[in-house]
Structure 1
C-alpha cells in the first residue's frame, strides 16, 4: 500500500543514492524485473483507486526502466479490459534488459504500441513513463514536445517515480516538466520532489518502497531528512519552580525609521513562543508605540552601538536584522552584535550587511535568508540559488559556519557539517510580509529555552510551517502576527504528546 503525504518516510535521497539502493536490493536477491513488476502493480492499483471509471490509458514511454514500468502497467490494463495505447518515444527495439522484457509482455498481451509522431491523440489517464531520475540536462526533442502535449491535454496524469523533466536532486525544471496530478515515487523519496519547483509538478505525492527490506534501506545513506514530529527535539520540560530567568532573554535589534513593524513582529513571536524575557532595541521614535503595542516587551531606544552594549550584556539570545536597514545606525548596532558572546539569529538586513562584508557573523549562529538574500551572501544570482537550493543552503552553512535556514517552498535547514533537513509543510497563504520576522523571533525564543542552534532552527521551521497550514484553512489574507498564537498552540500540543 503506498504511503500518503501523512506517513512518508523521513529519508530523502539523491538520484545516485536511489540507484545504489536499487542495486543493493538486486544484489541481495530481488531480481530487477521483480522490482519492476512490483512497481507496475502498485501503479495499476493506484490507477484503479484514483480513476476507477476511466477505462482508458495512454502510456507515454521513453527508453529506460520507467518505460519498463509503463509497459507492464499497459499489460495489466489491457488484461483488465481497458482501452490501452502506448506512445513510444524510444523504439522498442532499442530497449534493453528488464525494459525489453516488459515491452515483450505488453506486446504479447495485445497492447497497441505506436511510435511517437506528435499527432497521436491522448486518451483516458496519461501515464508519464518518459524520463527517470537520471536526467541532468535540459529536455530535448522529441521529449519536450511530448511533455508539452501532456500538459495541454487536460487529461489526468500519473507520473512514474518522478514527473519527467524534473531534476530529482534539486527540484529544478530542466527546461520543461510534466505537471502531474499524482506522482507515485518508488524505492526511495527523491529530494527534488519536495523543494524548488518540485511541489508544483508532482501533484499528490505517494510512495511505495516495493517491499524493500528495512535493514537494506537503513544501510543506504541519504541526502537529507524530512522534518517530522518524530525527529524534532522538543523543549525541555519545565519544573514547577521554573522562573523567567531560566527561559532565555531574547533581544531583538531592529526597526529603523519606517520599519518598526518587522522588529515588533519578531519580539511578539519570541514572547508568544515561550521566552522568559524579551527586549527590543529600536529607534527612539518607535519606543512609545512598541510599549503600547507590546507592554510585556522592554522597548529601549538606542541611538548607537555604544548604547546597545549594556542592554546586550543582559541578553542570552540576539535576534538581529528585522527592519534594521543598512545605514550608519544599522551598521553601528550590527558591529556590536558581531562581537557578542550571546547566541545569535541573523535575518533580513543583518544578512544584507553581512553580504557587503561590513561585519563577520559569530560562528554557531543561525541565519534565515530568503533566496535573494542567500544569493547576495554567496555572490550568485537568485536563479542560481533556486536551481540548486540544497547546494546553496549547504554552501552558506559551510562558508559562515552557521546553521542556515533557506526559506521558500521546501525550506531547508543546513548545518556546517553538511547535514540537511527539509520541511515539506507550509501553504501559499504564507506568501506575505512579516512571516520571516516571526520565524526569526521564534528561533530566538527556542534558543533561549535551551535548544541548540540546529535543533532550534529545525523545530522553529516546522512550527512556523505547520502554523501556516493550520491558518490556511481560514483563507487568504493571513497576517504575520496571526502565526504567533497558532505557534503557541502547536508548542502546547507537543508538550501534551510528550506527557
Structure 2
C-alpha cells in the first residue's frame, strides 16, 4: 500500500512517536535521512570517481570535487531538520553554507540542539538573503525554510529568496515539503503566494497528498519517503493513497481461446454534434483498442457513414438505438442541444454501465433533475464490498463513472475553478457523494473518488496529456474496461493509470511531452493492457 497522510495525521503520529523517544530523536533522524539523500544526489551528479575511491563512502570524492551545498534553515522545526542535515554534511567534509533565519520566539529544545550541532561543525553561517543565493556556485540547495505548518504566503525577503532559488540550475532537495506548498492540497499557500521548486523532496514519517496533485508535482519533483523508523502501530488507517497496479490489475484478464466478440462487451460512444465529430471517434477508437468486443458511435444527428480510419467502428444515429445493450460513454462532442439532453436522460435511465464526460457533464450541471436521477441510480446499486484497506470496491454496474476536468467539476459543484483546485481531494469527494458516482477529477495528479469516501491520487502521466482529445481517449478506455466486466471503481483506477502510463512511455521515447497527439496514446494504451494481462496469465 502507498498511503498518503494529511498534516493533522502526521502531527499526531509525530506527537505519539516523540513521547516514546529521547528528546529530539525524530529531528536527528530526519537530519540524518536528509543528509544521506543529499549525498546520494551529489554523488549521482558528480563525475564517476577513480579506481582508488571506495563506495559507499563517497565523501572523499565529493570533497575533492569541492562540492558546495547551500542549506536554507527556517525559523521552525523544518529549519531544525535542515540544521541537523548541515551538521552531518559538514562532518563528512562537504563545504556547507547555511542561510539561517533566527526564530522570532523561543525555539523548541530540539531545534536549539540542532543549531548548536550545526554551529559546532565546519558549516559557515550567513543571514538569509537573495544575493547570498545568487552569488554562490552551488551543487545542491537544501530547502528547510518551512514545513507542513505554513499558514500564510511567503512574503518579503523570504519571497525574494525563494525566487532566487527557483532560478538556480542545480538540484534542490526539499525537506518534508517544498516551502510554500500546502502538504494537504498541493496548492500554493495564499492567493498570491510562491513556492520553492524542488527537483527532489524527502518527506518524513509518511507521504503527503499535496506532493502528488495540483501544483505539487511541479514543485516536489521526485519524492522519497523517510519513515524515520516510526513504529508502524502508530500509523493510522490512511484515508488517501496513491494509485498502483495492485488496486486493479487482477481485473485485467488474459483472453480465453474460447472467447468471442460478445464475450468482451459492447461500447456505445454517444456524441459528435456538428463540428465535433472527432471527439467520439477518438473515444470509440480507444475503446476498440482497449479490448471491447464491439464499438458503436452514436451521433445525435447526421451520423457519419463510417470511420474511414477505423472501419471496425459502427456509426449510427443515436435515436432508435437500444441503450440497454451496451456500456455507454456519453459526452464527447455531444453539444448542448435539446436532443443531447434527451440522450443523456435516456443514458441515465438505462441502468447499465455508464460513463459521463465532457458536454454531458455540462448538461448535468445545468439540469438538477438529471443530477437527482444520476444520484438515485447510484444509490440503489447495492454494491458488493471488497477491501481496499477499509474501503469499497464498487461492483455495481449501475454506479456511473464521471470524468470532469476542473472547470466541469466547478460547474457541477457551483464553485469557481480556483475553489476546486484549492482542494482537489475535497472537491472530488463532495461530487462523488452528491452524485453517488465514481468521480475522476482530471488534472496533474488526477483524483479518483468513490461515493463512500475512498480516494486515490494517480501518479502516472505528464504534460503531454495537456492537448485536445486526451480526455476522449480516457473515456473510451474506461468504457471498454467496464464493458469487459471490470467494476466501476477498479475500472476508473485502471483507466487513469494506463492513460498516464501510456503518456509516460511515449514521452520517454521522444514522442512528447511537446506535440504528442491524443491518437498516439491509443496504441500505447493497448500495449500496456496486454502487458498487464500477460502478468495475470503468468500468475
TM-score (norm 2): 0.84
Q: CA contact under 8 A between 2:173 and 2:200: conserved in structure 1? A: yes
Q: Which runs of 4+ in 1 moved over 6 A?
A: none
How far did 1:68 drift? Answer: 1.1
The whole-number CA distance in structure 2 between the counterparts of 1:425 and 1:375 is: 24
Secondary structure in structure 2 of the residue aligned to 1:421: strand
The whole-number CA distance in structure 1 between the counterparts of 2:256 and 2:35 is: 54
The whole-number CA distance in structure 1 between the counterparts of 2:23 and 2:274 is: 65
Asked if 1:270 is matched to 2:279, the reply is: no
Give the 5 Å matches for 1:159-238: 159-174=174-189, 175-213=193-231, 215-216=232-233, 219-233=235-249, 234-238=251-255
1:314 to 310, 317, 325: 325
Asked if 1:45 is matched to 2:41, the reply is: no
How far did 1:441 drift? Answer: 0.9
The whole-number CA distance in structure 1 between the counterparts of 2:345 and 2:303 is: 22
Give the corresponding residue for 2:103: 91
Task: Deviation per CA, 1:286-329: give whole Å up to 9, x if none.
Answer: 42143x33332222124xxxx34x421322x1100011000122
Give the corresponding residue for 2:45: none
Q: CA contact under 8 A between 1:394 and 1:415: conserved in structure 2? A: yes
Change in Cα spacing, 1:85 to 1:300, as seen in structure 2 (3 Å) is same
Q: CA contact under 8 A between 1:24 and 1:216: conserved in structure 2? A: no
How far did 1:231 drift? Answer: 2.5
Task: Deviation per CA, 1:148-196: give whole Å up to 9, x if none.
Answer: 2322355542211111000000001120111112211121111000100
1:372 to 407, 424, 428: 407
Asked if 1:135 is matched to 2:150, the reply is: yes
Q: Aligned pairs, how many?
A: 481
Give the 5 Å matches for 1:69-148: 69-91=81-103, 94-116=106-128, 120-121=132-133, 123=136, 124=138, 125-148=140-163
Asked if 1:34 is matched to 2:25, the reply is: yes
Q: CA RMSD in A?
A: 2.1
The whole-number CA distance in structure 2 between the counterparts of 1:32 and 1:347 is: 54
Q: Which runs of 5+ in 2 are unaligned?
A: 43-61, 379-398
The whole-number CA distance in structure 2 between the counterparts of 1:43 and 1:200 is: 21
Change in Cα spacing, 1:293 to 1:154, as seen in structure 2 (3 Å) is closer
Q: Greater CA deviation, 328-337 or 151-160?
A: 151-160
How far did 1:223 drift? Answer: 3.4
The whole-number CA distance in structure 2 between the counterparts of 1:239 and 1:24 is: 52
Change in Cα spacing, 1:368 to 1:32, as seen in structure 2 (3 Å) is farther
Asked if 1:494 is matched to 2:532, the reply is: yes
Q: CA contact under 8 A between 1:58 and 1:127: conserved in structure 2? A: yes
The whole-number CA distance in structure 2 between the counterparts of 1:54 and 1:136 is: 38
1:474 to 506, 510, 513: 510
Task: Deviation per CA, 1:28-71: give whole Å up to 9, x if none.
Answer: x3335222222212222222222244532322111222111111
Asked if 1:245 is matched to 2:262, the reply is: yes
Give the corresponding residue for 2:383: none
Secondary structure in structure 1 of the residue aligned to 2:305: helix
Q: Which runs of 5+ in 1 are unaligned?
A: 1-8
The whole-number CA distance in structure 2 between the counterparts of 1:388 and 1:440 is: 24
